[in-house]
């Protein structure tokens, strides 16, 4: 029997809020602790160990200390880069970890003629481990159509950071066809932050879920982080998803129709709840017939939640629709159209000289996103030079 752990999407360094950054890291620590306790044979990390290719020093310190513990316990770590810790330059902190002897990047391949990609195995006992990294914006999907394995092993693991059709749900991402992937016994997947398991005859396809939820919706859906514990005798595979509950999550979902009275409604609802040390998520939805979202006194709501000693409070108001947009949304296709129409009306009423730039600036700023891997300085330069053209600014040297 071989027992190994499969983790994905740790996103170490994610979350702006300190409280959640702490939980994110604690959750990872718990997983490490459990792996050492259970004396797993090895640990797989299927991409997005770090939230970015260059994580902050504090996060690196903590991470190295965890990897040292794993190393001292004699447990090898096999990993691939994900869409977040991937870097087009090929340089990431995963390399630093690997150089230090704390992990082995198993995303190895040789590009053959006609673009075919031959994966190179890493052998652990009777087990062959292969991997192909994630890329930004799902760019790995095309590559994965060309990967192949040309050896036979008693037990094969394929680590991928990508999306298979079955896990997709309503997301607008191009998936890979799992039947077309090279044959393996265990597909150690990452990228989609869901707990998911599927199988075809003896092959397992597993998404263990992130080691901690990464945004408001994930906190609400997943409640906590998780990873997969896998056991195999070389033929049969037994897998178990292990969840790491740290704090209770309370999702308060309320429908509001009046911005002016909403504060009172929310407060009286919260009054009845015990929130001590909990993660409190407030999700508002509905169409405001009176008042605006700006009329909701969130400071007041936050004060009450603080008094109840919640661990942290997050709110999400993106599902509230202002009343005035109601009629328009059905007749006009998208928000850009609405914006354009409004801006035209605004210009008619306010024919100030500067306002003639309005629409052009909105258009430029809304679709000039930073290119993947574009250096910030270069992006800024590009943006500024475009803005200068629009604003007809000529530099005086």
Stretch that binds Mn ion, among 5-13, 151-159, 225-233, 361-369 (CB under 5 A): 5-13
Strand order in the sheet with 312-322: 249-255, 279-288, 312-322
User: Token digits for 35?
Assistant: 């792996």
Is residue 45 within a helix (H) or strand (E), and if so which, with residue range?
strand 42-46
Interface region with Mn ion, contact rule CB under 5 A, candidates 42-50, 103-111, 217-225, 337-345: 42-50
d(CA 251, CA 397): 57
Which range binds Mn ion by CB under 5 A, 47-55, 286-294, 375-383, 386-394? 47-55
Looking at beta carbons only, is 83 or 185 nearer to Mn ion? 83
Find the shortest distance in angstroms from Cβ 372 to Mn ion.
Answer: 15
SS3 call for 366: helix
Q: How many residues bind Mn ion (CB under 5 A)?
A: 2
CB-nearer residue toward Mn ion: 48 or 140? 48
Shortest gap between Cβ of 192 and Mn ion (angstroms)?
8
Nearer Cβ to Mn ion (8/310): 8
Report 306-325 residues binding Mn ion (CB under 5 A). none
Between 48 and 66, name the residue whose CB sits nearer to Mn ion: 48
For residues 202 and 235, the answer to whether their CB atoms sit within 8 Å is yes
Query: Phi and psi for 314 in degrees, rounded to 5?
Result: -125, 145
Q: Which two tokens stand for residue 206?
A: 């597993």
Joined together, the tokens standing for residue 205 give 């396809």
Span near Mn ion by CB under 5 A; candidates 7-15, 94-102, 279-287, 343-351: 7-15
Q: How far is the CB of 67 from Mn ion (least distance, A)?
A: 19
Which residue, 159 or 256, is less far from Mn ion as judged by CB? Answer: 159
- What does DSSP assign to residue 113? G
By C-beta, is 131 or 291 nearer to Mn ion? Answer: 131
- Regarding 48 and contact with Mn ion (CB under 5 A), the answer is yes
Binding to Mn ion, residues 322-381 (CB under 5 A)? none
Burial of residue 78 (CB within 10 Å: 0-12, 13-18, 19+) is buried
Q: CB of residue 16 vs Mn ion: minimum separation in angstroms?
A: 17
Min CB(99)–Mn ion separation in Å: 24
Euclidean distance between CA atoms 153 and 203, whole angstroms:
14
Q: Which residue number, 14 or 263, has a Cβ lying nearer to Mn ion? A: 14
* Rounded Cα distance, 203 and 217, in Å: 31
85 in contact with Mn ion (CB under 5 A): no
CA 89 to chain CA mean position, Å: 21
CB of 191 to Mn ion, least distance (A): 6
Q: Which helix (H) or strand (E) holds 60?
A: helix 57-72
Q: Least distance (Å) from Mn ion to the CB of residue 176?
A: 16
The size of the chain, in residues, is 397
Residue 47 near residue 133, CB atoms below 8 Å: yes
Identified binder of Mn ion from the candidate list 4, 6, 9, 282, rule CB under 5 A: 9
Q: In the beta sheet, which residues pair with residue 80?
A: 46
Nearer to Mn ion, 214 or 232 (CB): 214
User: What does the alpha-carbon distance between residue 67 and residue 45 come to, in Å, rounded to a whole number?
Assistant: 12
Distance of closest approach, residue 72 Cβ to Mn ion, in angstroms: 28
- Where along the sequence are the contacts to Mn ion (CB under 5 A)? 9, 48
């Amino acid at each position: 029997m071989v027992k190994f752990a499969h983790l994905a999407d740790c996103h170490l360094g994610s979350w702006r809020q300190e409280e959640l950054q702490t939980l994110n890291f604690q959750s990872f620590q718990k997983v490490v602790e459990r792996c050492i306790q259970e004396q797993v044979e090895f640990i797989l990390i299927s991409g997005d160990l770090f939230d970015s290719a260059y994580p902050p020093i504090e996060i690196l310190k903590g991470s190295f200390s965890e990897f040292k513990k794993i190393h001292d316990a004699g447990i090898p770590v096999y990993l691939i880069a994900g869409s977040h810790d991937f870097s087009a330059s090929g340089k990431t902190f995963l390399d630093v970890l690997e150089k230090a002897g704390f992990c082995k990047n198993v995303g190895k391949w040789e590009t053959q003629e006609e673009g075919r990609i031959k994966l190179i195995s890493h052998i652990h006992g009777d087990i062959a481990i292969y991997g192909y990294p994630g890329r930004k914006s799902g760019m790995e999907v095309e590559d994965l159509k060309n990967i192949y394995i040309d050896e036979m092993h008693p037990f094969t693991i394929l680590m991928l950071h990508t999306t298979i059709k079955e896990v997709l749900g309503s997301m607008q991402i191009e998936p890979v066809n799992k039947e077309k992937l090279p044959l393996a016994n265990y597909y150690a997947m990452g990228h989609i932050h869901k707990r998911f398991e599927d199988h075809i005859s003896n092959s397992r396809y597993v998404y263990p879920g992130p080691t901690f939820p990464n945004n408001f919706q994930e906190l609400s859906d997943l409640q906590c982080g998780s990873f997969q514990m896998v056991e195999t005798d070389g033929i049969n595979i037994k897998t178990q998803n292990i969840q790491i509950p740290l704090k209770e999550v309370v999702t308060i979902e309320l429908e509001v129709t009046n911005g002016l009275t909403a504060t009172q409604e929310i407060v009286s609802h919260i009054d009845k709840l015990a929130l001590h040390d909990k993660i409190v998520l407030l999700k508002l939805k509905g169409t405001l017939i009176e008042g605006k979202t700006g009329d909701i006194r969130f400071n007041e709501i936050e004060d009450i939640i603080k008094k109840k000693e919640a661990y942290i409070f997050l709110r999400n108001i993106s599902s509230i629709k202002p009343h005035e947009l109601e009629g328009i949304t059905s007749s006009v296709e998208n928000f850009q159209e609405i914006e354009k129409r409004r801006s035209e009306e605004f210009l008619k009423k306010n024919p100030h000289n500067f306002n003639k730039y309005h629409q052009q600036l909105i258009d430029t700023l809304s679709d000039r996103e930073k290119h993947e891997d574009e250096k910030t300085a270069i992006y800024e330069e590009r943006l500024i030079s475009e803005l200068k053209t629009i604003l007809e600014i000529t530099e005086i040297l």
